Every structure is written in structure tokens, then in C-alpha cells.
Amino acid sequence: MAKKKVFVFLPDGVGLRNFAYTNFNNFGEELGIDVVYWNNSVFPLHEKLGLHEVKIASDNLHPLTPIYSRARKRIELNLWQKEFKDSVYKTYKFPFQYHTTKKATRSIVTKLLIAKYNSPKGIGSIKKKIAKLERKNPKYEYCKKQLEKHKPDLILCTSQRSTQAISALLAAKDLGIPTATFIYSWDNVPKAMLVVESDYYFVWSDLMKAEILKYYPFLKENQVIVTGTPQFEPHFNSDLMIPRAKFFADYGLNETKKYICFSGDDTTTSPLDQYYLEDLAVAVKNLNEEGYNLGIIFRKAPVDHTGRYQEIIEKYKQEITEIAPAWKAMGKQWNTILPEPYDFSLLSTVCEYSELVVNICSSMVFDFAIHNKPCIYINYEQPQLKKGIRDIGQNYKYVHFRSMPANAVGWVTNKNQFKPILQQMLQDPEPIVKFAKEWFKIIGGENPMQASKEIWQVTAQIIDR
């Protein structure tokens, strides 16, 4: 009997961490499945990892697809704001841009589409229009021919938010090949980031399942399946941990110090992030003058190549040691800045050997909770804040933070609180960690160590139907 074949579809590089660098491939093969990576990313999977891949040598989009997709997102947010009587949805909209002729034209056309299609009936029409445009896209025929040649039994799309996935999944649909899509991130559903349509949706938790059925009531309950996410599995693999002495020696750390990790954010989430790092450094310096022996490990956001922290790092070089994420730019777009497999070891090791993490609204709270370490969230304005710069406070009003237990993190609501809260966390981290773990169960599901296996088991069941 021939093996069942599954195309693990990478529309871009964001799915590499979850589906290519982990043991995900091995678990599929153990079930007797022929695992083939349908690779639309720039990462050479066969060359670097020895994985079986079919390369998509096309990144075409119909020129109007991005415009219609932006309109689709804004219309969904408009409808949800009205239906749920909640102003949070307008904060998910990026401002229209007019500073070049091209961007101004796109913004004007998008606004016209919103005006025309801004209704439940209109959203259905705009989705049909996107499908019609992408079936005219040469990439559609290209992908269709690949599918006809290789005849997979199912397509597993590793991210729901990429326009690059639309034509490929339409080709699968038109050939009668079942499709499943993994929801990539913990905040994606209420942000109207369901770009593709498929037969099944794999979600992290019961909470995410409830969300997707709430926002997309045309879906049936059996189409949305709780699998967990492979995102956190490496933290449970002790083989990835770098020995303490080697890690400290390799990165110039002092083994007598206790380290606090400052996890940087991207420029959209926290445009003044470097000044929060400085406030932490001042607090650490003051504590060290009182007899503490602390240092800061700074891990920037992997997609941040602005250099905005360098002045602060140099100014506080006695306190701050930068350990950059093991990511590599393989193109000019943000989604071609890709992780290297070593980053799993690096991140797990930083979590294990730090006392706690400080950041702004990041899911790093869960990475550290797995290692029984607490998190401090920052929530105050910097004096450099001015018109046109985004205040970080709106981040905590987003829907995905409404699931957070009250004491899951420590809060710093002005820079003078850093010192006492650091003292409290260093002395007694357990109460915060307890609630952080409860939150992680709500967000990440009941079995975070088994997500890859669960995805394959569900996939096998779908094929057998």
C-alpha cells in the first residue's frame, strides 16, 4: 500500500521554526506518512536540513491582491467593532500612508473598496474577488501543475496570514485536495489575520477555537481542531541546553552574576524600546551599588536591524551584555529574516540561566514560565513620546490579553518601580510563575510538549476520512 503524502506548505519563512527545525518531520514519518515540504520560502530546506522539498519558484501575486486583502482586513475589523460594540478593533488598523505616489494610490483605492464593501455581504464579495484575482495569477497554474504531478493527499499550510498562500490553496481546492491551516500566533485571530480559507484550522487551545468560531461563524465546529503549537516544544528538550560554563564563556558572561533578560520588541510594538532598556540598566546599576551582583542579557527582536540600542548598550556596558538572536537576513522583506536552527538552543539557554525576563507585551512570558522564571511587563510612557509615535499602553488592551490572570506578570508602570519590583521578583518569583503557567495553559493548550504529534495524528485522521 502506497504511503499517504502530505505537503507541509511554507508560504514564507515564518513557519520554519515550528515545522522544519523541530522534530515535526520525524513524527510524520513515524506514522508512515511521506512528508514533503512545499517550500515557498527562501530557505533551502534540502540543502541545509536534508528535508524532502518541492520548491515553489514563484512569488507572484496579482497586483490587486494586497489592496483587496488590506480592505478585507479593515472591513472585518469594522464589522466586529460594530457587532461586539468594542473599540479595540480599530486599534488593530495600521494608518494609511500617503508619503509616496504609490502608497497614496494604494491607500485611496483601499478606502474606496472599504466604502463599497463595508457590510457582511460585502466581505463575502471581496473574498470572492480575491479568489478570482489569484486564479488569474500565473502562480495559481504553476502550483496546480505541481500538485497534479506530485498528488499529495493533504496540504498543511503552516501559516494562515500570508497572501502568498492564497493561489496555492485555491489550486488545491480546485483539484479536490483537502487543506488544513495552522494559526500561527497567539494574537492573530482577533486581529483579522485569517488571509486564507481551508477545510480545517489547527489552533493552539480551546480559547483560540472559541475565538475563531466567534469571528467566523460560517465555520463548523469540526473544522477547527485544537492541536497546540510546536512553538514551545524546544524548551522541553534538555538536549538543546548549552552547558552553563560554556554558555557563560562563549558570551562573555560573569558566572558570579545573576542575569535579567531584556527581550526587545519590534519598532511597531515599542518604538521607544531602547529607553526602557536604559531605565532597566539604571535600576540594575543602583541595585549593584547596594550590594547586588546583577547583569542584563539583552536579546533584541530578531527583525529589528535599526541599531537603535547601540548607544544605550555602550553607555551601560558594565550592566548590559547583548546576545543577538541567531537569525539571518536572506532578503529585504521582514519575512525573509529567518531563524537558524541554533536559535532554539540559544533561546532556551537564555531562559534557563536568566532570573527573569523584562519586556513589553511579548509572548516571551510563556518561554520563561516553562523554565519557572517570571516576567515583568513595562507599561508607562517615555518622555520622548510625541505625536506620531505609538504609545505602548494600547498593546495591553488587545483582546489576547483579556485571558491573562491578574498576577501572571509583574508590572512596572513608571521607571522608579523597576528597582523594588526587581527586588521582589528576585526574592520570591514563585507566585508570579504560578499564574504565568496558568495563563500559558489557557493560551498554549494542555499538552505543549505534544503539539507536533497531535498535529500529525489529526492530519492522519483527516486523510483516512
CATH of the domain at 423: 3.40.50.2000
Strand ordering across the sheet containing 258-263: 320-322, 294-299, 258-263, 354-359, 375-378, 410-412
- Same domain assignment for residues 435 and 342: yes
- Same domain assignment for residues 16 and 164: yes
Q: Is residue 77 domain-resident?
A: yes
Entry pTM: 0.95
Residue after which a domain boundary falls, among 73, 97, 126: 126
Q: Is residue 405 domain-resident?
A: yes
Nearest CA to 185 among 350, 364, 372?
A: 364
| Domain around 16 | 4-61+137-228+448-464
Using DSSP, state whether 382 is helix, strand or coil: coil
Q: Is residue 295 domain-resident?
A: yes
Work out the pLDDT band at 333, boundaries 50, 70, 90.
Answer: low
- Same domain assignment for residues 284 and 337: yes
- pLDDT score, position 390: 74
- Same domain assignment for residues 217 and 342: no
What value does the mean pLDDT take over residues 237-248?
A: 96
Q: Is residue 131 domain-resident?
A: no
- pLDDT score, position 465: 84
Residue 201 β-bridge partners? 181, 224
Residue 298 β-bridge partners? 262, 322
C-alpha to C-alpha distance for 265 and 343, rounded to whole angstroms: 17
- Same domain assignment for residues 373 and 298: yes
Taking all residues of the chain, what is their mean pLDDT, rounded to a whole number? 95
Work out the pLDDT band at 332, boundaries 50, 70, 90.
Answer: low
Q: Is residue 132 domain-resident?
A: no
C-alpha to C-alpha distance for 229 and 16, rounded to whole angstroms: 13
Work out the pLDDT band at 224, boundaries 50, 70, 90.
Answer: very high
Nearest CA to 455 among 23, 82, 149?
A: 23
- pLDDT score, position 386: 75
- Same domain assignment for residues 218 and 244: no
Task: Write the DSSP symbol of residue 204.
Answer: S
pLDDT(327) > 90: no
- Same domain assignment for residues 224 and 249: no
Q: Is residue 359 domain-resident?
A: yes
Among residues of the chain, what percentage have pLDDT more than 90? 89
Amino acid identity of 421? Answer: I
- pLDDT score, position 385: 76
- Same domain assignment for residues 222 and 262: no
Residue after which a domain boundary falls, among 77, 93, 126: 126
What value does the mean pLDDT take over residues 238-242?
A: 95
- Same domain assignment for residues 26 and 107: no
61-75, 94-108, 121-135, 307-321: range with lowest mean pLDDT? 94-108
- Same domain assignment for residues 207 and 349: no
- pLDDT score, position 336: 66
Q: Cell 519590534, residue?
A: 266
Work out the pLDDT band at 388, boundaries 50, 70, 90.
Answer: low
Please give the radius of gyration of the chain, using alpha carbons only, rounded to the nearest integer. 23
Neighbours of 229 (CB within 10 A): 26
- Same domain assignment for residues 255 and 315: yes
- pLDDT score, position 88: 96
What value does the mean pLDDT take over residues 336-363?
A: 92
- pLDDT score, position 403: 97
Work out the pLDDT band at 430, boundaries 50, 70, 90.
Answer: very high
The number of folded domains in the chain is 3
What value does the mean pLDDT take over residues 388-413?
A: 91
Sequence-ordered list of residues with C-beta below 8 angstroms from that of 259, at least 6 positions apart, any chain = 253, 294, 295, 296, 297, 321, 353, 354, 355
- Same domain assignment for residues 240 and 381: yes
Q: Is residue 240 domain-resident?
A: yes
Q: Is residue 316 domain-resident?
A: yes
